Amino acid sequence: MSKPIYQQQDELAKLIERYSGQDGVHPTAIPSLFFICESIVTEPIYRVNEPSFCIIVQGEKEVLLAQERFRYCPSDYIVASVNLPVNGQVIKASSDAPYLALKLEFTPSQIVEILSDSDIQVGPKENTKRAMFVSKVETSLLDAVVRLARLLDNPKDIPVLAPLFTKEILYRVLQGPHGDALKQMAIKGSYAYRIRGVIEHIINNYDRSFRIEELAETANMSVPSLHRHFKEITAMSPIQFQKQLRLQEARRLLLSESTDAADVAFRVGYESPSQFSREYSRMFGFPPREDIKRLRAKNDQEINA
């Protein structure tokens, strides 16, 4: 019999704190499982969210996908079914009650395996749904998550049991109210499956210009159909998707290297430094030089605190 949900959350919180030790994202001995701990409200963090399942046991977080806002707390979990450029921010955390979360990354092949091994009904291939969703956590799902995390106390069991518990977690999500969004990504020939291929192409070639007709041809879709389904899945157009990738990478380069903004603009695919600066300011709220100076000063403050 499953424990009450608050007891499951308490056990998971203790495991995350024990294996985290400090703020940040922490890999674990279980491949694709990460623990996240933050004792302060964070700056918005821009990154590409891999296909993953994330559950919070303490604190709150907000994720922006284009203009769409996803807010979730300990009664929720969030799933991204494809790679998506997002902006995430921990909005409730303190040193006494840090933000604590668990992230489990997965692959489309794992979803395909579960669908082939189960009698889960798959909807029409024409269905396309948003590739990110928040859902209420149920005790059966949380129970599987706790059993997976508990394996860290018994490392010898990880090779055999971690894949089984991971499969159970994904199975529970597929059975949930938003499971269709996950199923469609794995069904060969579906619109969602083809859009996933377009997303991978843009990510691998974000610094190159492309014609929308080429993407449509790659996906074996008409241009209007590509636009419609791409936006339904990602909340943005292919060009907007590429722009987010370029600007995220530009910011990473500026932060990690002492590089000129114009040089970075060309490296990520912009032909005009002035256009790059305008779009950078629009996305991050500050021009490149000012933004990087501000972020470095903030990082120095946190290190010296």
Task: Based on the fold, state whether residues 77 and 158 are members of the same structural domain.
Answer: yes
At residue 2 the predicted structure's pLDDT band, cuts being 50, 70 and 90, is: low
Q: Cα(251)–Cα(27) distance, rounded to whole angstroms?
A: 24
Task: Based on the fold, state whether residues 250 and 295 are members of the same structural domain.
Answer: yes
Average pLDDT on 231-259 reads: 94
Task: Based on the fold, state whether residues 42 and 109 are members of the same structural domain.
Answer: yes
Residue 76 has, within 13 A of its CA and on its CB side, a CA count of 14
Under DSSP, is residue 124 helix (H, G, I), strand (E, B) or coil?
coil
At residue 123 the predicted structure's pLDDT band, cuts being 50, 70 and 90, is: low
Count of all residues that appear for the chain in the document: 305
pLDDT for res 57: 96
93 touches 21 (CB < 8 A): no
Task: Based on the fold, state whether residues 98 and 196 are members of the same structural domain.
Answer: no
Lowest mean pLDDT among 21-35, 144-158, 220-234, 285-299: 285-299
Angle between helices 179-186 and 191-204 (to 10 degrees): 70
Strands (E), 68-220: 68-72, 76-80, 84-92, 99-105, 132-136
Residue 66 has pLDDT above 90, yes or no: yes
Q: What contacts 270, CB < 8 A, 6 or more positions away?
A: 246, 276
* Residue listed under structure tokens 């049991």: 161
Number of independent structural domains in the chain: 3
At residue 125 the predicted structure's pLDDT band, cuts being 50, 70 and 90, is: low
Task: Based on the fold, state whether residues 266 and 127 are members of the same structural domain.
Answer: no
Name which of 13, 178, 165 is nearest 79 in CA terms.
178
pLDDT for res 97: 96
Residue 79 has pLDDT above 70, yes or no: yes
Residue 1 has pLDDT above 60, yes or no: no
CATH number (domain holding residue 273): 1.10.10.60
Q: Cα(196)–Cα(189) distance, rounded to whole angstroms?
A: 11
The mean pLDDT value of the chain amounts to 93
Radius of gyration of the chain (CA): 20
Task: Based on the fold, state whether residues 163 and 291 are members of the same structural domain.
Answer: no
Name which of 148, 196, 199 is nearest 171 in CA terms.
148
Which residue range forms the structural domain that includes residue 23? 5-185
Task: Based on the fold, state whether residues 208 and 277 are members of the same structural domain.
Answer: no
Task: Based on the fold, state whether residues 126 and 223 are members of the same structural domain.
Answer: no
Identify the DSSP state of 152: G
pLDDT in tens, 184-231: 898 888 899 999 999 999 999 999 999 999 999 999 999 999 999 999
CATH number (domain holding residue 89): 2.60.120.10
To which H or E segment does residue 147 belong? helix 139-150
pLDDT for res 304: 54
Average pLDDT on 68-84 reads: 95
Lowest mean pLDDT among 117-121, 155-159, 212-216, 299-303: 299-303
Among 234, 266, 291, which residue terminates a domain? 234
Task: Based on the fold, state whether residues 249 and 272 are members of the same structural domain.
Answer: yes
Q: Cα(151)–Cα(91) distance, rounded to whole angstroms?
A: 30
Task: Based on the fold, state whether residues 192 and 181 are members of the same structural domain.
Answer: no
Task: Based on the fold, state whether residues 106 and 244 are members of the same structural domain.
Answer: no
Residue 29 has pLDDT above 60, yes or no: yes
Token duo for residue 56 = 């919070």
Task: Based on the fold, state whether residues 146 and 174 are members of the same structural domain.
Answer: yes
